[in-house]
Structure 1
C-alpha cells in the first residue's frame, strides 16, 4: 500500500476505538468480495496523484502483452474474448448438424478449401455490372444497387427516428466514399500520415491486380486522387457529430438542386427508396462537393473506385490473397496488428453480426441468469435516483430547465440484457457452402428491414444492439439506453463481487450512457426524443463554460509525441465519463449506507476509484493509438481514467495534494452532476 494511505486508515481505526457505540467495527467482507478485489495489477511505486492509471494498472500493463492478432488489448477485449468463447460452443454445436442457420453460416466461413477454390468468382457479376456501365448515371445506379449488399458508395443511407418528429422514421443521407477513416488521413502532411497514404495506394494497386486489372499502379493512384478530392469536401469528425448542424430536411428534387452532378433520385430508387417525400441531408455542402467531384471525374476512375469498394467489402470472404491484402493494410499498416485473428474467432464474430438475435437468444439462455438481471436493475435504480437528485439541485441550471430535465429522466427507458422481441430470420436463406451468397442475402435481408421502416412509427420493442457484444448505447432520439447481456459480465459486473467494483465498473458505464442523454448533444433532445431548444440562454452559457473547461483539459493530453487528444472531438464521451463517474459514486454511497469496511487495507471509496481505473486497462500499438486520436470520439484509456482528477472525493481518498501531476485546484475541477 502507498504510505500516504496509512494515516487515513490509522485515523479511522482510532476513531472507531474512541466511539464504539457510534462507529461499530467493520463487518468482514464476503470471501467473494475479497477475491474480486485483487492488488495484482497495481504498481504502488507510482503515486496515485502523479498517474492514477499506472498506480492502478502498472503491474498489469508490464506483464500483459498485446496479442499478435490485436491492435490493442485490455478489459473490453478480454470481455469480448470471453463472450466469443461462449459463442464458439454455441455455433460449433449447431454446425455439427446441417440445416441450422447458425451452424450452416459458421460452416460456410470455416470451409477454407471451398472459399479458396472459388477465388473471386462469387463477386464477378457485381464487377462485370460495374464495368458495363455506359456513363456516370448508369454507374451511379449500379453502385446504388450494391448498397443492399453492404457495399458503400458516394453516400450512406439509413432509416432513423426523425429527430424533429420522433413519431416516425425518415431517410438520412451522409457523406461517404472514403477508404481511409476520415478527411484527416488524406490532408495531414506528417510523415506517418504520408506513409499511410502510400501504403493505401499500394493496397489499392494490389487489389486491382488480384482482380485481373491491367495498369494497376496508375489506376490506384487515380482512385486515391479521387478520394482525396472527396475528402476535401467532407465535414470534420467534430462537426459531423453536431445534432443540429447535421439536420437538414430536403425533398429529393431539392437534393438534386443542392448537389447537381449526381442522379440522386435514380440512385435512391435503385436502393428501394421509391421517391421518398422528404429526407434528411446530414452534411449538405459535403454531398454537393462530392457530386461535383463525381461529375468531373472520368468514368473509368469511378468504375475503379466502385470495384475497389466491392473488393474491400468482400475480401475477407474471398480466397486468401484478397483477405491477406486487406489485412496487410487495414490490420498491419493502419492498426499495427501483426497477425489475423484465428479463423474460428472471425467466424464466431461473423455469425454474431449476421444472425445476432438468433445467437443472442442462445447466449442469454446460457449466460445471463435471472439473478444477475435483477441485481443489474437494482443498480440502475440507484443511478437514476442519483441523477434525479442532482438534476433537482443543479445550481447552474434554471428552475424550469431543471424541471424539464427531471421530466425527461422520468421518461427515459432503460433496457437491460436482451430484447422482448427477437428478429425472425425465417425468410433468410443460409447455404452451407456459399459464404459470399450467405452474406449478400443476409445484407439484403437487413437492408429490406430498414427500408420497410421508412415512414412507419418507431417500434418500442426494436433492439438495435447485439446482446453478445460488450458495449452499451444511448439513443437521444428515442430517449433510451441499452445494456446488452455481454456487457453485464465480469469484470464490469459480477453479482458476487465487491460492490465498489460493480458500481465503478457497470455503474459508471450505466451512468455514462444515462448522462449521454444530457451531454453536449443529448441535451438538445426533449423527453419525447424531439430535437429542439428547451434550455434557456443562461443554462446553455453555464453548460458551455463547463464543456469548454473539459475540452481544454483534454487538449492538454499528449498520448503520443506530437499527437494530442482532440478535446472538441472527444468532448461528448468525456462529459459522459465524468458524469457517469460522479453518478456511480453517488449511487455507491447510497447503496452502502455509510458502512466503511476495509478490504486488504483499502477503504470503500479507494476501491471504487481503483475499480474505475481497472475497467480501463488497455494497451495500444502506436499505429492504432494514432488512428484513434485522429478519428475516434473516445479518448484513450489512460486519459479516460484521469477523469478522477475532477472529483473532490478522489483527492480525499488518495491524499492528492498540490505538486502531484494530476492535481487540479478546486476552481479548475469540472463537474456536471456532482455536488455543487
Structure 2
C-alpha cells in the first residue's frame, strides 16, 4: 500500500509493512489524538489457541473505530500520527521564524504553499496550462515519444511487492546491478496503469466490473475539470488503452521472481526486442541516453507497451498523458481536482469515507518532496542518542541469535552455512537516520507556487537518481527517511534500515520490559535480518550479487519447507470469495517466522543464567501480537489481499503457531483452531 510518499525512496527494498507510511496527525498537537472512540463492546472471549490476534488485541478492537479519513487503523498508524504531530509543530515553528534559511525554510515554504487554498483557488487551472499546452502541441509520433520519455519518473521499487507498477508508461529504478554490485544500473519496469494492478482490468467479476466503470467515469471527470471537451469518449479510449497495457503486464507473483527479472538489454537491443517505440529518442528525452545497459524487469510488458506506442493513435496517447498528469498533481490544484481524485482513489478503491484534512495532505506532500530535510528536523529534536545505542545493541543480539540458529541447522551444508554467516558478518545496519543526508541545495521552492514546487521536486529527485549512473555504489545509502514508520532490508546492499519513527511505543518503549520490546521491535529487527534469507533475499550473496550460493540439497529443503508455509497461508480466507495468496506473501511470512524465532532466542539469552520471570514468554508473544493491532475497511483489505506482499495482520500474528514456546506459554491444545501437530510446524531458519 502506498500513501503520499512520492518519490518513494525505497530502492532495493524488502519492507516490513507497505501500509506503514506516516500520515499527518492533529494540527499543531504535541501528541496524536486517539481515533474516534465508540462504546466498548467486549468481544467474545477467545482462547489464544483459537485466535491469538483477537486474544491479544480484543480490548483494542472493541474500543477502536477507523478514523473517517483512513482506510485502516492500527499501531503503525498511531505511531505515524504521533510522529507527524511533532513534525507539524517543527514546521509551524520554522514558518514563524522569518530569519530562518536553508532547508528548514524550504520545508516551511513548501508546506505553506500547499496550505494556501485561497491562493490555489484564485489561480484556478492557470498553473496547469503550460503542462497541458505541451501535450496539446504533440502532432506526431516523434513528439509523442519525446513527451513519454520526459514524463518518466524514478518511482518504482520491484523488490517491494506493493509497488510493481506506475501510472507512467514505464517505471524507472536506479541501483546497483543484480549481477554487478559495483555499478549502478537503470532498471525498466512495467507501467501505464491508473488502477493498482492488472487484475483490476482483467478479472471477470461484478466488483471489478463496477470499479472499471467508476474508473472510466473518474478519467472523464478529471479531463472535464482540466477544460477538455467530449470527455466521455476520451475516457473510453484511455480506458481501452490501459486495458491493452494491462494485458501485457506480468502478474504479482511473476514480478516477485527476481530470476525472471534479470534480463540485461543493451541500449541497442530495444529496437529489435521491443519495436514500435523510437527508443533512442525516448531515452534521450528521459536523460538516459548515456546508459549502455538496462535491466528489463518485465520484458513482456516492455515489448507489449512499445507495440502499443507504435499502433495506437497519437490522440489517444495525448488524452492518456493529459489525464495522468492532471490526476497525478490533483492535490496541488483547486479543490475540485483533489475531491474528484479522492472520490475514486479513496472512497471507491479503499472505502475511505472522508478525505484527510488539508494540513495532513500538506505534510504528506512535503515529506514526499524533501523527506530527508524533514527527517533531519525530526531526529534533531525527537530521537535521543540513548535510543540509538540501545537499539543497536538489540540488533547485535538478534543478529548473534540468528547466527546461532544457522549453526544448528541440520539440513544446511557447511559451504552454504559459511556463506550465510558471511552475510550476517558484513551486513550494514542503519539505526535512526542515515550517515549522510540528501542535499536539497539545488531545489527551488517558491512561496505560493504549490504546483510548481511539486513538479520541481519530482524533477530534482529524478535528476539525483539519474546522476547515480555516474557515481560509485553506496552500500550505506538509506532507502527510507527517518520519519517513516517502517523498516527495510536491502538485499542488493546487504543492509538494513530502522528509521527513527518506528523506534517508539508501542514497538519500542524504554520503560517497558525486555520481553515486550523483544516481542515487538525485536521481532521487527529479526524480520528484517531474515529477509536476507527469505525466498528472495537468499538469492543474493554477502556482496549483494544475485548468485546461487546454495548446494542443490540445501535449496531443495528450503523450497520444500517454504512450500509448507505457502500452503499454510493459502488456507486463510478473509472473505468467502478471496483467500490470501501464500506465494505472493511468502517473503514476508518467512521473515515473520524467522524474525520472531530469532528475537525470542535473543530475548532468552539476555537472562544469561538468571531466572526469567514466570510470564516471560507470555510477555514476549503478547508484545509481538500487540504490535499488529489493525482494523481495515473491506475494500482496502480486498485490495491488499490482491496486491500486497504482506498478509493481513491477523494472519501475520498467527505465524506463532509454528513455534513450540508459544504452545507452552499459552497451553495450546489439539482441537484449537491454530493448533498444528509438531510435524506440520514450519521451521526454515
Q: CA offset at residue 149 of structure 1?
A: 9.6
Question: Contact conserved, 2:41 with 2:62, CA < 8 A, in 1?
Answer: no
Equivalent of residue 178 in structure 2, options 163, 180, 195: 163
Match of 1:118 in 2: 123
Equivalent of residue 399 in structure 1, options 402, 405, 414: 414
Q: CA offset at residue 297 of structure 1?
A: 1.4
Equivalent of residue 492 in structure 1, options 507, 519, 530: 507
Q: CA offset at residue 593 of structure 1?
A: 3.1
Deviation digits for residues 399-448 of structure 1, max 9, x if unmatched?
11011111111011111001121122121111111011111111111111
Q: CA offset at residue 115 of structure 1?
A: 1.1
Question: Contact conserved, 1:52 with 1:642, CA < 8 A, in 2?
Answer: yes
CA distance in 2, matches of 1:110, 1:92: 12
Equivalent of residue 648 in structure 1, options 630, 638, 660: 660
- What does 1:380-459 align with in structure 2 at a 5 Å threshold? 380-459=395-474
* Residues 1:381 and 1:148: Cα distance change in structure 2 (over 3 Å): closer
Match of 2:6 in 1: none
Q: Which runs of 4+ in 1 moved over 4 A?
A: 40-44, 148-152, 594-598
CA distance in 2, matches of 1:662, 1:417: 36
Question: Contact conserved, 1:42 with 1:54, CA < 8 A, in 2?
Answer: no
Q: Secondary structure at the match of 2:402?
A: helix
Equivalent of residue 355 in structure 1, options 370, 377, 392: 370
Q: CA offset at residue 455 of structure 1?
A: 4.0
Question: Contact conserved, 2:167 with 2:194, CA < 8 A, in 1?
Answer: no
* Residues 1:84 and 1:267: Cα distance change in structure 2 (over 3 Å): same
Match of 1:92 in 2: 92
* Residues 1:408 and 1:597: Cα distance change in structure 2 (over 3 Å): closer
Equivalent of residue 661 in structure 1, options 669, 673, 678: 673
Match of 2:650 in 1: 638
Match of 1:81 in 2: 81
- What does 1:509-658 align with in structure 2 at a 5 Å threshold? 509-593=524-608, 595=610, 598=613, 603-658=615-670
- What does 1:63-462 align with in structure 2 at a 5 Å threshold? 63-98=63-98, 100-147=105-152, 152-462=167-477
Equivalent of residue 494 in structure 2, options 460, 479, 486: 479
* Residues 1:200 and 1:594: Cα distance change in structure 2 (over 3 Å): farther
Match of 1:22 in 2: none
Q: Secondary structure at the match of 1:469?
A: coil
Deviation digits for residues 63-97 of structure 1, max 9, x if unmatched?
10000000000000111101110101111111124
Q: Secondary structure at the match of 1:658?
A: coil
Q: CA offset at residue 672 of structure 1?
A: 1.7
Match of 1:507 in 2: 522
Q: CA offset at residue 198 of structure 1?
A: 1.2
CA distance in 1, matches of 2:81, 2:494: 31
Q: CA offset at residue 296 of structure 1?
A: 1.8
Q: Secondary structure at the match of 1:235?
A: coil
Q: CA offset at residue 41 of structure 1?
A: 12
Question: Contact conserved, 1:41 with 1:60, CA < 8 A, in 2?
Answer: no
Question: Contact conserved, 2:152 with 2:169, CA < 8 A, in 1?
Answer: no
Q: Secondary structure at the match of 1:279?
A: strand
Give me the TM-score of the superposition, normalised by structure 2. Answer: 0.90
* Residues 1:147 and 1:477: Cα distance change in structure 2 (over 3 Å): same
Q: CA offset at residue 343 of structure 1?
A: 1.3
1:60 is aligned to 2:60 = yes
Which entry has the higher C-alpha Rg, 1 or 2? 1
CA distance in 2, matches of 1:41, 1:260: 62
Q: Secondary structure at the match of 1:73?
A: strand
Question: Contact conserved, 2:484 with 2:499, CA < 8 A, in 1?
Answer: yes
Deviation digits for residues 472-531 of structure 1, max 9, x if unmatched?
111111100000101111110112211111101111101111110111010111111111
Q: Secondary structure at the match of 1:244?
A: helix
Q: How much is the aligned-residue C-alpha RMSD, in angstroms?
A: 1.6
Aligned length: 631
Return 447-456 or 306-315, whichever deviates more: 447-456
CA distance in 2, matches of 1:311, 1:294: 21
Q: Secondary structure at the match of 2:261?
A: coil
Match of 2:32 in 1: none
CA distance in 1, matches of 2:169, 2:467: 23
Deviation digits for residues 8-57 of structure 1, max 9, x if unmatched?
xxxxxxxxxxxxxxxxxxxxxxxxxxxxxxxx999682111110001111
Q: CA offset at residue 156 of structure 1?
A: 1.2
Q: Secondary structure at the match of 1:180?
A: coil
CA distance in 2, matches of 1:577, 1:148: 32
CA distance in 1, matches of 2:374, 2:234: 42
Question: Contact conserved, 1:149 with 1:440, CA < 8 A, in 2?
Answer: no
Question: Contact conserved, 2:428 with 2:476, CA < 8 A, in 1?
Answer: no
Q: Which runs of 5+ in 1 are unaligned?
A: 1-39
CA distance in 2, matches of 1:558, 1:611: 25
* Residues 1:306 and 1:216: Cα distance change in structure 2 (over 3 Å): same
Q: CA offset at residue 195 of structure 1?
A: 1.2
Match of 2:682 in 1: 670
* Residues 1:446 and 1:160: Cα distance change in structure 2 (over 3 Å): same
Match of 1:3 in 2: none
Match of 1:9 in 2: none
Give me the TM-score of the superposition, normalised by structure 1. Answer: 0.91
Q: Secondary structure at the match of 2:295?
A: strand
Q: Secondary structure at the match of 1:225?
A: helix
CA distance in 2, matches of 1:261, 1:310: 23
Q: Secondary structure at the match of 2:423?
A: helix
Q: CA offset at residue 594 of structure 1?
A: 5.2
Q: Secondary structure at the match of 1:212?
A: coil
CA distance in 2, matches of 1:152, 1:666: 47
CA distance in 2, matches of 1:246, 1:439: 32
Question: Contact conserved, 1:107 with 1:432, CA < 8 A, in 2?
Answer: yes
Question: Contact conserved, 1:170 with 1:455, CA < 8 A, in 2?
Answer: no
Q: CA offset at residue 263 of structure 1?
A: 1.7
* Residues 1:395 and 1:503: Cα distance change in structure 2 (over 3 Å): same
Q: CA offset at residue 270 of structure 1?
A: 0.6
